[in-house]
Structures are given as C-alpha cells and as structure tokens.
Amino acid sequence: MSRTAKIAGIAALAGMMMAVAIVAVTRPDEPAPAPALALPAEESQHRLARELDRCATLTMPDSGCEAAWAANRRRFFRQDDVAPAVEHDGGASPSEEGFVP
C-alpha cells in the first residue's frame, strides 16, 4: 500500500469518528423508555395457558393439545388473523376445542 493510500484511509477513519462524536454530542439525552408493564391477560389467554399446562403433563398425543399448541404458535408469531377459527360439534369437550387467544 502506498503512503498516500494509508493517509487517505486514516483520514477517512478519523472523519467517521468525528461524525459519530458530533452526532453523540448534539443528540438530546432522552431517558430510557420504561419497561413495558405486564397487562392482565384476557380470559382466552388464561384458558390457553391452563390447557398448555395440562398438555405439558401428558405423554400421549391429544387433539386438544395440538390445537392449543397451534394457537400458541399463532399468538407468538402474531398470526392470529391468518388462521381461521375451526368450528366443532356442540358435544365437544373443552380439551377438544381449538383455543384462539
């Protein structure tokens, strides 16, 4: 590398450092945002949490648990509006119902 290229590289680095310093000095000091408060969950989220707790103790596959895990994944990835609600027969037990958060 030539001496001129080295000088140009150091000048460019110094210019970037100077720009960062100027931005840091001129930027107004803002207080850190307060942490998000835990808001009370809706009843459907409580039902989903209870169902997931129940499913965590099971060793056999359960259709209600599969629906609960799918609802939890949709809620986690914020895909609530993508998956349509599944309709069940009137005689379905709570563990067979699909949970929508």
pLDDT at residue 98, as a whole number? 52
pLDDT at residue 68, as a whole number? 87
Q: Maximum CA pair distance of the chain?
A: 84
Q: Of 16-20, 42-46, 65-69, where does mean pLDDT reach its minimum?
A: 42-46
Q: Where are the alpha helices (DSSP H) in the chain?
A: 3-26, 43-57, 63-76
Q: Where are the domains of the chain?
A: 1-30, 43-96
Residue range 61-86: mean pLDDT, rounded: 75
Residue 42 has pLDDT above 70, yes or no: no
Residue 83 has pLDDT above 50, yes or no: no
- Confidence band for 88, pLDDT divided at 50, 70 and 90: very low
